[in-house]
Structure 1
Amino acid sequence: MNLLFVADPLESFKVYKDTTFSMMREAQRRGHRISACEPRDVSWRSGDVVHARVRDITLTGDEDSWFTEADTSTRALKDFGAVLMRKDPPFDSEYFYATHLLEQAEREGARVFNRPAALRDHPEKLAIMEFPEFVSPTLVTRDPAEVRAFHAEHRDIILKPLDGMGGMGIFRVGADGLNLGSITETLNQDGAVTLMVQRFVPEIAQGDKRILVIGGKPVPFSLARIPQGSEIRGNLAAGGKGVAQPLSASDLRIAEALGPTLAQRGLLLVGLDVIGDRLTEINVTSPTCFQEITQQAGFDVPAMFVDALEAALS
């Protein structure tokens, strides 16, 4: 089977930790052929099917020169066994347009994972609001007065932009309310931009856990991203330390409650972010942490993923 990965430039991959690379490696090990392109390589001409300028590659096993390129050609997306959308955030206008092109390719017969409509329907921070029983008290608003009232009620809060990634733009305001007004103005730009406010979850000291759900089933280990020094952010991009650990009872309860529902909607791979026993984010665009969990816990996450992909295509 020929798999097309729609991703960031291959030359930018850090293969020692990249999840998309680990997917490619496992797929090639099983005999599947690997092709890759970037979203900018996808096009649709009126009266024709969706095409992409793709690179057919072979993985070498060498970390420095990790692939060789056999051919570059323009091919219809429907002619691939599967198309895997693995472009990293941000989920900006170009990402949004790419999902529409991929959805058209679906109508033409392409099998796309995660499904383009599901990517659009599950904004990674807002998606948690569908599952209030697992979420810390949360407010989504543009209104500074509502933010002030939420702080007065909960005293210790987190504020963050809806389109942030890697811990970008996250602020904590304690009981003294210091800088609450300034932070709110910065994030919501005088009421022009929606922000999310949540009651602070002190268990962040033990880590922001990434729980992977593949084909509706949880990987039995999470990666706890543990804040370092004076940081409140556990994100690896913000300097957090990743530690693989078995799922707790509450982790498993959340994953088993959400997994089948999200899988039914076309989300083959989901990354749930959990602090303590509270769900904080549902990652659907390009969930990571395959290699860290595999290396530390000995559980073969890429194999579980390709198993699920093959089952979905059978």
Structure 2
Amino acid sequence: MISKIVAIQGNHPSKLNSLTDTSVFLANEIQKKNYRIFYYDPKNLSIINSKVIASGFFIKFNYKNKKFFKILKKQKLELAKCKFILIRQDPPFNLEYISATHILDTIKNKVKILNNPTSIRNISEKLYSVRYQKYMPSTIFTQNINEIKKFFKRHKKVILKPIHSYSGNDIYLLNRFNMKLINQFIKKHDHIMCQKFLPKISKGDKRVFIINGKVCGAISRVPKQGSFLSNMSKGAKPINIKLTTKENKISKLIANDLKKENIFFAGIDFIDQKLNGDINVTSPTGLKTLYDLSGINLAKTFWKELKV
């Protein structure tokens, strides 16, 4: 029998910031409909006797308390007995992440998993953007140092990004060609993304929220003084904004494609009306921030789209 349980595969709640965290925001909303929340870390996922078992705990979230969560009961749970599983751990998208998607693949016909584990595995958050390059700043994906040198000569200021990292980690702004730095970067990350620097990032990027093939809202994140990183984890300040006609058109196109790919919840980013090439499907964030800025509750939209 399928119970009113939502399992969340994520980082331990003690590592989360309740003021901004989207997983907590989604869990808090579904609790109102008398669903129980079961929380587990991907490393505690197993296949035992052909059943997918997670060691974790039932948990209750409450924004009113200083400690915003209470662990109710530690136990093992057969995940096929849940109504929904939310894949919400932070990248990096590494072998552990891939193994977890393979394990969850075995029960995806028995329980609704968001996002679909096969789809997460197939959609590299940065490489998937190749199909939208006409909407992006000039971008290459390579580990060839000569190609990077040519690209740098053409654009003078270049952003280097690892393909499988997250939250603005390990991103470099290249003002002068530094062979040693680039070689170390490639050695650490293999293929990397090189992108023409857009100076208007100083005015902020735009994070667009896509739920079930629909463009549902957006916020802007303005880097702190002297920074080019628009991640809130790196000190960027969120502000309320609207999308331009051009941004809305591109967002709808991507939303439609992602729905066909079985991606239910995603976030995409624009800088100066150009797609920056991050198609966030592993663990999109920002819903709580949008709510605090605008009063728009996309956690309600999320569960409504699932017909809860």
Which band: TM-score by shorter chain?
A: over 0.9
Return the offset for 1:60.
Answer: 3.6
1:141 aligned onto 2:139: no
Q: Deviations over 1:256-287 (max 9, x none)?
A: 00102102212111010111121121111111
State the identity %: 25
Normalised by the length of structure 1, the TM-score is 0.91
Return the offset for 1:189.
Answer: 2.2
1:208 aligned onto 2:205: yes
* CA distance in structure 2 between the partners assigned to 1:310 and 1:41 by the alignment: 29
Q: Which residue of 1 aligns with 2:194?
A: 197
Alignment: residue pair count: 304
**Equivalent pair of 2:152/2:177 in contact (CA under 8 Å):** no
Return the offset for 1:208.
Answer: 1.8
* Matching residue's letter, 1:8: N
Normalised by the length of structure 2, the TM-score is 0.93
**Equivalent pair of 2:9/2:42 in contact (CA under 8 Å):** yes
Compute the RMSD of aligned alpha carbons. Answer: 1.8
* CA distance in structure 2 between the partners assigned to 1:29 and 1:14 by the alignment: 21
Return the offset for 1:114.
Answer: 0.2
* CA distance in structure 1 between the partners assigned to 2:39 and 2:60 by the alignment: 11
Return the offset for 1:119.
Answer: 0.8
Return the offset for 1:117.
Answer: 1.0
Q: Which residue of 2 aligns with 1:58?
A: 60
* Matching residue's letter, 2:20: K
Q: Which residue of 2 aligns with 1:218?
A: 215
- Runs of at least 5 residues in structure 1 that lack an aligned partner in the other structure: none
* CA distance in structure 2 between the partners assigned to 1:212 and 1:130 by the alignment: 19
Q: Deviations over 1:181-229 (max 9, x none)?
A: 2332121129x71111111122212212111101111123x22111222
* Matching residue's letter, 2:117: P
Q: Which residue of 1 aligns with 2:172?
A: 171
**Equivalent pair of 1:5/1:36 in contact (CA under 8 Å):** yes
* CA distance in structure 1 between the partners assigned to 2:62 and 2:158 by the alignment: 48
- Aligned to 2:181, the other structure's residue is in SS state helix
Q: Which residue of 2 aligns with 1:250?
A: 246
Q: Which residue of 1 aligns with 2:272?
A: 276
* Matching residue's letter, 2:15: S
Q: Which residue of 2 aligns with 1:235?
A: 231
Return the offset for 1:132.
Answer: 1.8
**Equivalent pair of 1:7/1:86 in contact (CA under 8 Å):** yes
- Aligned to 1:310, the other structure's residue is in SS state coil
Q: Deviations over 1:38-66 (max 9, x none)?
A: 11221102x42111123222334433232
